[in-house]
Amino acid sequence: MKTRAAPAANLAYGFETRAIHAGAAPDPTTGARATPIYQTTAYVFDDVDHAASLFNLHDFGYIYARLTNPTVAVLEERIASLEGGRAAVAAASGHAAQFLTFFTLMGPGDEFLASRALYGGSLTQFGVSFAKLGWTCHFVDPADPENFARALTPKCKAIFIESLANPGGVVVDIERVARIAHAAGLPLIVDNTLATPYLCRPIEHGADIVVHSTTKFLSGHGNALGGVVVESGKFDWAQDGRFPSLTDPEPAYHGLKFFENFGDFAFTMKARAVGLRDFGPALAPMNAFLTITGVETLHVRMERHVANARRVAAFLAAHPKVAWVSYAGLPASPYFELAQKYLPKGAGAVFTFGVEGGYEAGIKVVESVRLFSHLANIGDTRSLILHPASTTHRQLTEAQRKAAGAGDDVIRLSIGLETADDLIRDLDQALGT
């Protein structure tokens, strides 16, 4: 909810200009040029009438930081602009953003489809924790988009995919899945975390909602958790009575109908005014500030992340101790063609490779690197390495690990912004030629 239009959100400006300016203006009181951190819990009302109109959602403004905050609002408007969306709501983490998205769409007994190639935490959130709320997720192999059409049920409320999935560099045919979703009257939700809007803009390919873990490349420095939900503003929530949470009277707001009242930003309003209000995963102003600062260099960083990733992937592909490299930016990848279409500026900077010698060899590599950090994160300025079989996926059986793309020989890299030759030398010594 912004009370005043910010200058550069409009799409006439280039991506780089919007990454720096969208949603922000010099502070009207002090002239502060950087977006201030509004470290406040609440905001003073002008008078009782003003308070009443804010609480009734008749007026946009600030009440309490669980709902809105001016620093967070700048980030929301900026990401909405970069994705080419209508509006956005930020959340405390990527998982909180996913929860808000599904809470806004689903009721107990509802179902949705999700690609099987997802971030591991999303597989658990959808498959285990959402089940406790009465929401059923059917996982689908995205290699053939028709698998989504075959898996649809009358209770489905959405289809969820990642534009570029980790691990394994899986690129999904967004336009084909969007057509399948729309033919069934459903919105397509795309997790665009690994690509960022610099490399891929799912709304341009038919997505209705884009979610992000801003924790990764958007903030970009490994220092701020966050998430955001962007809506395209193009989905008709009233087409067949399938989304009562958006079309029916909302008891907590005197019978307000969100879609009727807010139209092309009804989804965002509902996610905020009910989802954030009642569950509380608001983004901290400090984390919004750090993320805004990160986003201002997104285009410059992503270009270098991709350039470094290409060099490291090519080096590994030619290395005698490396069995395979799974990077959609390499012509040998089965996803190379789709990556050319959906990620024309590059296939990101997270990929996996297989080390000759299996489990023991994988452990040796992560314990021998000096520059790469051995940890469970991606999208940092620093290069990161992980052996999923001995860490994030260690509770699974070997067969389950294989199915999840986390077999014993798999090593995942998130390539940072260091000197590419240094990264290559580090991996070379760790592989032990």
Ligand X SMILES: *Cc1c(COP(=O)(O)O)cnc(C)c1O
From 19, 72, 152, 194, residue interacting with ligand X (rule: CB under 6 A): 194
Residue number closest to ligand X, CB atom? 94
Q: Is 193 in the site for ligand X (CB under 6 A)?
A: yes
Residues present in the chain in total: 433
Query: Which residues, including other chains, have CB under 8 Å from residue 128's CB and lie 6 or more apart?
Result: none
Q: Collapsing DSSP states into helix, strand and coil, what is residue 351?
A: strand
Strands 227-231 and 209-213: antiparallel
Q: Collapsing DSSP states into helix, strand and coil, what is residue 374?
A: strand
Could you tell me which stretch among 89-97, 309-317, 339-347, 367-375 binds ligand X (CB under 6 A)? 89-97
Summary count for the chain: helices (H), strands (E): 18, 14
Q: Is 83 in the site for ligand X (CB under 6 A)?
A: no
CA distance 414 to 410: 13
DSSP 8-state code for residue 275: I
From 62, 119, 327, 335, residue interacting with ligand X (rule: CB under 6 A): 119
How distant, in Å, are the alpha carbons of 42, 155, 170, 367 from that of 3? 16, 38, 40, 52
Q: Is 414 in the site for ligand X (CB under 6 A)?
A: no
From 77, 111, 191, 231, residue interacting with ligand X (rule: CB under 6 A): 191
From 69, 71, 81, 93, residue interacting with ligand X (rule: CB under 6 A): 93
Smallest distance from the beta carbon of 377 to ligand X, in angstroms?
8
Look up residue 153 and give its amino acid. Answer: T
> Of 98 and 308, which has the nearer Cβ to ligand X?
98
Smallest distance from the beta carbon of 126 to ligand X, in angstroms?
11
Residue 338: enclosing H or E segment and its boundaries? Answer: helix 336-342
Could you tell me which stretch among 87-95, 197-205, 278-286, 421-429 binds ligand X (CB under 6 A)? 87-95
From 107, 121, 127, 358, residue interacting with ligand X (rule: CB under 6 A): 121
Q: Which of residues 292-311 bind ligand X (CB under 6 A)?
A: none
Could you tell me which stretch among 64-72, 90-98, 146-154, 289-297 binds ligand X (CB under 6 A)? 90-98
Look up residue 298 and give its amino acid. Answer: L
From 68, 71, 101, 122, residue interacting with ligand X (rule: CB under 6 A): 122
| Interaction mask 350-389, ligand X, x per CB under 6 A | ----------------------------x-----------
CA distance 66 to 58: 18
Going by C-alpha positions, the residue among 235, 200, 229, 234 that lies closest to residue 214 is 229
Query: Which residues, including other chains, have CB under 8 Å from residue 341's CB and lie 6 or more apart?
Result: none
Could you tell me which stretch among 13-21, 191-199, 328-336, 396-404 binds ligand X (CB under 6 A)? 191-199
Query: Which residues, including other chains, have CB under 8 Å from residue 298's CB and lie 6 or more apart?
Result: 19, 82, 196, 197, 198, 217, 218, 220
Q: Is 393 in the site for ligand X (CB under 6 A)?
A: no
Q: Is 162 in the site for ligand X (CB under 6 A)?
A: yes
| Interaction mask 221-250, ligand X, x per CB under 6 A | ----x-x-----------------------
CA distance 236 to 208: 10
By CB under 6 A, name the binding residues for ligand X.
93-95, 119, 121-122, 162, 166, 191, 193-194, 213, 215-216, 225, 227, 378
